[in-house]
Amino acid sequence: MENVNLIESFSEFKEAKSIDRETMMRILEDVFRSILIRKYGTDKNISITVNVDRGDFEIWRTREIIEDADYAEKTPEEAALFISYSEAIKIEPDFEVGEEVSEEIFLKDFGRREILNIRQGLVSKIQEYENNIIYKRYTDRVGQIITGEVYQTWKRETLLTENSVELILPKSEQISTDFFHKGDVVRAVIIKVDVRNDTPIIVLSRTSPVFLERLLEQEVPEIFDGLITIKQIEREPGERAKVAVESYDERIDPVGACVGVKGSRIHSIVRELKNENIDVIPYTTNVELFITRALNPAKVTSIKLNEDEKKAEVFMKSDQLSLAIGKNGCNIKLASRISGYEIDVFRDDINNEDDEDVDLIEFNDEIEEWVIKELQKVGLDTAKDVLKIERDELIKRTDLEEETIDNVLNILRAEFE
């Protein structure tokens, strides 16, 4: 028989895909059968033996010998299973009606176009097989953290690879301060597996709350073991996150376990999330208490709830307002989302002039830190300390530029308007 080295012919994709012997045999047989069906009309009387280890195969076609007159009455589909007596004795003169003729089919019996179809069909089948394996493998891993190597970065997405499988990290799923170079190792969570043109597309995220949840499971054994439950996570990626946790074991402090000794556990997560501040709060069904905890680090004086409209009016001292609201309103936004209530904050000490004063450090979102330090150097620690002094006197004392002083005064006056 003709020996055909299939491994050598198709090594470029067989080796790349690392297909096992049994699978390769099945794929080869399927491809050859599809070609034989087109060539002979049926494969019912055809046997194929593929040996991937040796790199060869055998194809045998068996037909029953019938009288010429009976053969002439057969339809083309039926005739494929039989051979006329006159044709059979050309192969072997001793053949008789009723016997079977077995013939080996060689690759040379196929035309050039058929051989090309075999190759294309094999490539297509192997790719289909590989795509199915990848789709199933990564669909089962949705919600898990994956570590990939950056292969290429574009404007709208970053391409990573894991064991030669391509992974997509869209720009919308990246933290705003993420910046990757080729070869960087990146961790993210698999959020979904799409299919485009029959090719699986594995989509990753670093902004999903699930990513933070999985990081906590990795760093906090009590969460992984189920002793502490994460009830809810809300994030403003790269800025702040709030995590509500609960322990069913009274001996375990859920917040302390998550933070770790001197913040050892939470710090590694903060670094992974580009210095995203993470507030871990004890979960409770007491809405007022939960809102109070959610507004941390601000201290709440009192809360008025409207349960029907899911609204909460929160009262606190003036110096706590900026803490409650947070940078760009981040803190109050997250507190609203994690509590399920629309939160509005109010001063409860408008008529108390002494309590209404606000420390300068509370304005660090609007006034640069070095400017605040310059004011503190000359004994000005609160907003009212600054406002009591004339503009020109402030310029002389601090040696700050006029434009800077005007900006500070406008910010501080707006606080009391």
| DSSP string for 240-263 | EEEEEEEESSTTS-HHHHHH-GGG
Are 165 and 129 part of one and the same domain? no
What's the total number of domains in the chain? Answer: 4
131 in any annotated domain:
yes
**Model confidence over 308-326: pLDDT tens digits?**
999 999 998 888 888 899 8
Q: Are residues 283 and 201 in the same domain?
A: no
Q: Is 329 helix (H, G, I), strand (E, B) or coil?
A: helix
Domain boundary among 78, 112, 135: 135
pLDDT of residue 21: 67
Distance of alpha carbon 189 from its chain centroid, rounded?
4
Q: Specify if 143 maps to a domain.
A: no
CB 374 within 8 A of CB 398: yes
**Are 62 and 90 contained in the same domain?**
yes
Nearest-angstrom CA–CA distance, 65 and 85: 6
Spans of the chain, pLDDT less than 70: 1-21, 52-56, 349-356, 417
> In CATH, what number is assigned to the domain containing residue 174?
2.40.50.140
Give pLDDT, residue 54: 65
Domain assignment present for residue 221? The answer is no
Residue 318 shares a structural domain with residue 385: no
Same domain, 315 and 387: no
Q: Quick check: 188 and 149 in contact, CB under 8 A?
A: no
Say whether both 125 and 28 belong to one domain: yes
Are 235 and 267 part of one and the same domain?
A: yes
Instruction: Tell me, yes or no, whether 141 lies in a domain.
Output: no
Please check whether residue 104 lies inside any domain of the structure. Answer: yes
In this structure, are 57 and 129 located in the same domain?
A: yes
Enclosing domain of residue 388: 363-416
Out of 73, 105, 135, pick the residue that ends a domain: 135
Distance between CA 18 and CA 206 in Å, rounded?
31
Q: Are the CB atoms for 389 and 397 separated by under 8 Å? A: yes
| pLDDT tens string 106-127 | 877 777 777 777 777 777 877 8
- Distance in angstroms (rounded) separating the CA atoms of residues 232 and 243: 6
CATH of the domain at 272: 3.30.300.20
| 259 lies in some domain | yes
| Same domain flag for 236 and 343 | yes
Cα-based distances in Å from 311 to 287, 306, 318, 337, 342:
11, 5, 21, 12, 5
In a domain, 412, yes or no: yes
Do 128 and 163 belong together in one domain?
no
Considering the entire predicted model, what is its pTM?
Answer: 0.65
Q: Note whether 159 and 271 are same-domain residues.
A: no
Is residue 212 situated within a structural domain? no
pLDDT at residue 3, as a whole number? 40
Question: How many angstroms separate the CA atoms of 243 and 397, rounded?
Answer: 45
CATH code where residue 44 lies: 3.30.1480
Same domain, 90 and 184: no
Element at 202 (helix H, strand E): strand 199-205
What does the pLDDT read at residue 7?
46
Q: Where a domain ends, among 296, 323, 347?
A: 347
- Please state the φ and ψ torsions of residue 164, each to the nearest 5 degrees: 70, 5
